[in-house]
């Protein structure tokens, strides 16, 4: 599936070819901290199937539990998270943050990773009172 | 209740005072986009109840649907989102991103805002297959 997306301020735009069946939620504690939320969602690109079309994301390299260095890309101006990928050279899959994808309504998470650290209240989400706007 | 937290790389650390009963989820499209998630979890501090201990966040100002300008603060080194607040001078509350708090396990959202833009699959979240570790 071909997609495209952008950060909030519009400085960074990209296009990608992704495997929508690989779309997932990540409950790892790094995703919780960096996103400031309960979890993040990603959709994996084909190998090297990601291209920045404007702007240059800033890269932060974290060390995963596996010991692998992982590049975390975000917009240096507005802070929108764009993707994660293996650090270094070579062909790679880009895990694109689904929220920045223009076609995000067509991408539904198919599984939930790192569920052992999921926030404990998530099963009760449907019963937390809802307000349509502010 | 007093809280403390920081960004992923450790450059920014802070402490905050907030009422856990005020914790909320925000489903607005700006929160979705900026965080890379389906929504953000936020806890508003008491007035001026946020104190930076180390580091200085980068500030991005967005225009809310109301027309108001809102400061979005994040770590420019690791990209961790820290808080949102008003641009005006004077006393202010800070909407702290719960994911950055050391005590986040103790904070349960009491309210969901901007549900009109909530991701439709969230109602079936529990039915989405779960894997304990890496997928």
Give the model's pLDDT for residue A128: 94
Question: Two tokens at B5?
Answer: 């937290």
CATH fold group of domain B2-118: 2.170.150
Residue B58 CB burial class (10 angstroms; 0-12, 13-18, ≥19): middle
Over residues B112-117, the mean pLDDT reads 96
Q: How far apart are CA A40 and CA A25, in angstroms?
A: 6
Count of alpha carbons within 13 angstroms of residue B60, beta-carbon side: 25
Give the model's pLDDT for residue A75: 97
pLDDT tens digits, one per residue of A3-16:
999 999 999 999 99
Q: Do B41 and A38 touch (CB under 8 A)?
A: yes
For residue B23, what are the CA distances in angstroms to A6, A55, A82, B110? 29, 35, 26, 6
For residue A58, what are the CA distances in angstroms to A117, B46, B69? 27, 33, 25
Instruction: Check pLDDT > 90 for residue B135.
Output: no
ipTM: 0.93
β-pair type (A24-26, A40-54): antiparallel
3-class secondary structure, A89: coil
Whole-prediction pTM:
0.95
Q: How far apart are CA B74 and CA A38, in angstroms?
A: 17
Distance between alpha carbon B131 and the CA centroid of its chain, in Å?
A: 26
- B-chain residues within 8 Å CB-CB of A31? 37
* Mutation to test the A interface, candidates B79, B114, B122, most A Cβ within 10 Å: B79
Interfacial A residues in 64-83 facing B (CB < 8 Å): 66, 72, 74, 76-82
Domain ranges of chain A: 2-127
Considering the domain delimited by A2-127, tell me its CATH architecture: Beta Complex (2.170)
The chain A residue lying nearest B97, using CA atoms, is: A36
For residue A20, what are the CA distances in angstroms to A44, A94, B16, B33, B43? 8, 13, 40, 18, 33
Using the Cβ of A18 and the Cβ atoms of chain B, whether some distance falls under 8 Å is answered with: no
Give the model's pLDDT for residue B102: 96
* Mutation to test the B interface, candidates A4, A10, A35, most B Cβ within 10 Å: A35
Give the model's pLDDT for residue B50: 97
What are the start-end ranges of the E strands in chain A?
Answer: 2-6, 13-18, 24-26, 40-54, 58-63, 69-74, 81-86, 95-97, 111-113
Element (H, E) at B33: helix B29-35
Nearest to A112 by CA among B51, B114, B126, B28: B126
Task: Work out the percent of chain A whose per-residue pLDDT is above 70.
Answer: 100
pLDDT tens digits, one per residue of B80-110:
999 999 998 889 999 999 999 999 999 999 9
Q: How far apart are CA A123 and CA A96, in angstroms?
A: 25
Structural contact between residues A46 and A134, judged by C-beta atoms closer than 8 angstroms: no
Residue A103 CB burial class (10 angstroms; 0-12, 13-18, ≥19): middle
Residue A50 forms beta bridges with which residues? A16
Structural contact between residues B3 and B18, judged by C-beta atoms closer than 8 angstroms: yes
Domain ranges of chain B: 2-118
């Amino acid at each position: 599936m071909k997609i495209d997306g952008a950060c909030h301020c519009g400085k960074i735009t990209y296009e990608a070819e992704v495997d929508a069946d690989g779309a997932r939620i990540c409950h790892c504690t790094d995703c919780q901290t960096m996103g400031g939320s309960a979890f993040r969602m990603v959709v994996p690109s084909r190998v090297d199937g990601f291209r920045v079309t404007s702007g240059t994301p800033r890269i932060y390299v974290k060390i995963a539990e596996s010991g692998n260095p992982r590049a975390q890309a975000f917009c240096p101006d507005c802070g929108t998270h764009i993707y994660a990928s293996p650090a270094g050279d070579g062909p790679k899959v880009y895990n694109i943050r689904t929220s920045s994808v223009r076609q995000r309504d067509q991408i539904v998470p198919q599984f939930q990773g790192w569920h052992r650290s999921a926030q404990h209240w998530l099963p009760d989400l449907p019963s937390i009172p809802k307000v349509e706007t502010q | 209740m007093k809280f403390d937290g920081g960004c992923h790389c450790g450059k920014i650390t802070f402490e905050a005072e907030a009422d856990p009963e005020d914790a909320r989820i925000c489903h607005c499209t700006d929160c979705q986009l900026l965080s890379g998630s389906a929504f953000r979890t936020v806890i508003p501090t008491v007035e001026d109840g946020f104190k930076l201990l180390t580091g200085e966040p980068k500030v991005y100002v967005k225009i809310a649907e109301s027309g108001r300008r809102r400061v979005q603060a994040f770590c420019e080194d690791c990209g961790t989102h820290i808080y949102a607040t008003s641009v005006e001078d004077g006393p202010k509350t800070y909407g702290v991103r719960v994911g950055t708090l050391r005590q986040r396990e103790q904070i349960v959202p009491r309210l969901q805002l901007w549900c009109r833009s909530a991701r439709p699959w969230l109602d079936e979240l529990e039915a989405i297959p779960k894997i304990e570790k890496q997928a």
